Amino acid sequence: MSSSHRVAVLLKNLFYFFTIAVNLTLVSLHAKDWPIYKGNIYFTGNNDEIIVKNNKLKWAFIAKHKIKNPVVYDGKILFLDTYKNIYCLNQNGKLIFKLSLNKIASRFRDGARIKGKIKYPIIKDGILYITDSVAIYAISLKKAKVIWARTALIKSSYTKRKRYRPKRHGNQRKYSKYKSRQYKSRYKYNRYRRGNYRVASIYSDPAINNHVIFYGARQTFIARRTHDGKEIWRNENIHSFSGFPSFYDKYILTLSANYLKRQFHVIKMNAETGVEIWRSPITKPFKLFSPLVFKSKVYISTNKTLTALDLETGKPLWQKNYGQIITSNLSFSENKIIFTLNNNKVIQADVKNGKLKQSYDFGDQSAPYFVVTRDQFYTAYQNKKNKIIYAKVQALGFDKDDLWEFQAICPGPPSQPVSAKGTLYVPAGKILYALGHNHSDKLGTFSNENCDSFKKKWELLNKKRNQVQPKKEKQREFDYQLNNFSDKQFEFEYQIYKNEELIRKGKKIYSEKNGKLTIPDISNSQTVVYFHHNNYITKKVKINKTQKDITVKMQKIETGKVYNINNINFATASSHLLQNSIPLLNKLAITLRSKKNLILHITGHTDNIGKQEYNKKLSQRRAQAVASYLVKNGISPRRVTATGLGQSKPIASNKTKTGRAKNRRTEFIFLYQ
């Protein structure tokens, strides 16, 4: 190696370490960008950064009652209806199981009917968690059975009194309406007493951080272990009536509403002990919306006002009055806060001062619900036709670009949609629509259909689509060899795609460096395999139809070393992750979760096509998209930083197509805290 080449390599390494040092000094800034997590739904309504490309109808599921609150987990879609039935569908819309939450709850409280709002299901590690008015339940998705159920018992202030007897006036009895109600409510209040304790009503939805589930009851706030429901701690100075707690690293943020004393606060607690760190008063809200943590601030919406508090001290920093009521939880994306106003507008506001950036008006009483993915958002709102309410979906860019729209065929108001893997799931009345079909056939063209013919057509289509796969199928076998691998075993995973949609996947643990692998052989499909170990960079290999052997060179994770990752792909001229990038990022998230002290620095690079300033911004947004995906999948933002260098650091010539492809890359650098 020549002396000039050594100097060049040294300068390159110094540059990378300088970049890491600068970003690690700013790590606290990035740490404040952690999105608020609500089970498997973020405030953005999306947790994989994949955009929905079109309005084509993938499938439609028809339930007996109105559908609410869908969530997506590992290719499964779960939701509730207004009769508290829990549905679980596969990615093709086929029903896997249906459970009655009313029947489950009847085992724990004498068959009483559940009252209160319909809650969001939360899913972690294959377990569904959900609350009703008196208990929290853990349900296995694999077995469709209850694992545990817990109530929130609090000390009762009730003292036994003599039964109220109305005064007699001659032969008539005159009841005092007030005292009669008081007696009835006291009787009902006493139904769920257990000795000196009673069951506290649960009004809020829970949230999960690590392996602890947090939720608020009427006069207490509780933390439980997810695997057995055992109580870890409780704070009885918190009154929860709505919303759900938010978390940031080892802290929990929630709202407390004591209506008797007319005291309303936002509270920051230690997640491990439940000890309050600060309590900041707020004005009485017409509805409780959960706090949002972003850019070193805690954002709270109360009536017409958005307030920013200091994350460390809880002191107010600024307030912005919009003149109309804020009617949704706060969300954020692309350095903007997003929420609905007056139940008819979706608003973009500046995170620095709350200044209005954009406003999208969907009409009076449209009641919009939105999902945000990077610089796009999808809004489901009420659209009246002949005084009948239908659901309509509109996809817009942050710059007011109309992307696509979808009009529901059957009547029914929409509720909160969710998107995952490029599909938007929209509940509207009794139907769940799955939008974003990638096939060439135009299954989404139903504009001239009426509701009855639409339902009949989809019942026939679903029967054809949900036909059971034949048990016997061809298998492919090929030899593999791992080089530079010194551990005892590794995880092998295959994924088979057809028309850009995942149709089959599987995992297996192997303990030999050399051997044979077996995967299904499906015609007209594309197969991708992954070799994963937590101590190595995950390797992705595409397999063609004639291939009979695989040789993989593994790279062990070493601190300070630059790893060039070519398999993280984006849409042309945008920061939208392509779906084929997700499995690799999932493996990276698993590695980071297993190594708690590992820090990851992500650097984005482009080729020289386009202006230099544009390429730098594009590379920054792409690196941030990778970081956001990891954070949304459980990695603390304190451990992930992102930088875009544009076209300034090429590793090949930009004069050829092959060279430009090499320069469009994502680089990882690992360090230990």
- Over residues 558-575, the pLDDT tens digits come to 999 999 987 898 888 888
pLDDT above 50 (res 598):
yes
The residue-averaged pLDDT of 300-321 equals 94
Q: What is the third-level CATH fold of 1-27+558-673? A: 60s Ribosomal Protein L30; Chain: A; (3.30.1330)
Q: Are 108 and 88 in contact (CB under 8 A)?
A: no
The predicted pLDDT at position 26 comes to 37
Q: Are 265 and 282 in contact (CB under 8 A)?
A: yes
pLDDT above 90 (res 49):
no
Q: 31-35, 275-279, 382-386, 501-505: which range is least confident on average?
A: 31-35
Query: Hey, do 1-27+558-673 and 83-117+121-164+187-228 end up sharing a CATH topology, with the first three levels equal?
Result: no
Highest mean pLDDT among 90-94, 164-168, 421-425, 439-443: 421-425
The residue-averaged pLDDT of 384-409 equals 89
pLDDT above 80 (res 265):
yes
Question: Using alpha carbons only, what angle is made at residue 420 by residues 634 and 644, rounded to the nearest 5 degrees?
Answer: 60
Please tell me the distance from the alpha carbon of residue 527 to that of residue 563, in angstroms, as a whole number: 25
The predicted pLDDT at position 5 comes to 52
The predicted pLDDT at position 557 comes to 92
The predicted pLDDT at position 189 comes to 39
Q: Give per-residue pLDDT as tens, 608-664.
A: 998 999 999 999 999 988 988 888 777 877 789 999 999 999 999 999 998 998 899
Q: For the chain, first and last CA: distance in Å?
A: 34
The domains of the chain are located at 1-27+558-673, 83-117+121-164+187-228, 474-556
Angle between helices 612-632 and 582-594 (to 10 degrees): 60
The predicted pLDDT at position 287 comes to 85
- Residue 240, classed as helix, strand or coil, is coil
- E strands, 398-466, in order: 402-407, 418-420, 423-428, 431-435
pLDDT above 80 (res 392):
yes
pLDDT above 60 (res 255):
yes
The predicted pLDDT at position 666 comes to 93
Share of the chain above pLDDT 90, in %: 38
Residue 85 structure tokens: 């039935």
Count of other CB atoms within 10 angstroms of residue 499: 13
Q: Are 542 and 526 in contact (CB under 8 A)?
A: yes
The predicted pLDDT at position 107 comes to 67
pLDDT above 50 (res 21):
no
The predicted pLDDT at position 474 comes to 83
CA proximity to 373, closest of 339, 397, 346: 397
The single-letter code of the amino acid at 222 is I
The residue-averaged pLDDT of 239-253 equals 81
**pLDDT band for position 184 (cuts 50, 70, 90):** very low
pLDDT above 50 (res 202):
yes
Q: Mean pLDDT across the chain, nearest whole number?
A: 81
In CATH terms, 83-117+121-164+187-228 corresponds, of 3.40.50.300, 2.40.10.480, 3.40.50.10710, 1.10.600.10, to 2.40.10.480
Q: Is 447 exposed, middle or buried (0-12, 13-18, 19+ CB in 10 A)?
A: exposed
**pLDDT band for position 478 (cuts 50, 70, 90):** confident
The predicted pLDDT at position 296 comes to 77
CA proximity to 285, closest of 310, 255, 247, 261: 255
CATH number of 474-556: 2.60.40
The predicted pLDDT at position 407 comes to 92
**pLDDT band for position 470 (cuts 50, 70, 90):** low
Higher-scoring residue by pLDDT: 250, 591: 591
pLDDT above 70 (res 410):
yes
pLDDT above 70 (res 8):
no
Please give the C-alpha separations between residue 270 and each of 136, 408, 466, in angstroms, as whole numbers: 22, 45, 48
Higher-scoring residue by pLDDT: 159, 423: 423
The predicted pLDDT at position 226 comes to 93
- E strands, 588-632, in order: 598-605
**pLDDT band for position 41 (cuts 50, 70, 90):** low
The strand order across the sheet containing 220-225 reads 207-209, 212-217, 220-225, 231-235
Residue that the structure tokens 């009154």 belong to? 239
The predicted pLDDT at position 616 comes to 93
- Could you tell me which residues are beta bridge partners of residue 505? 495
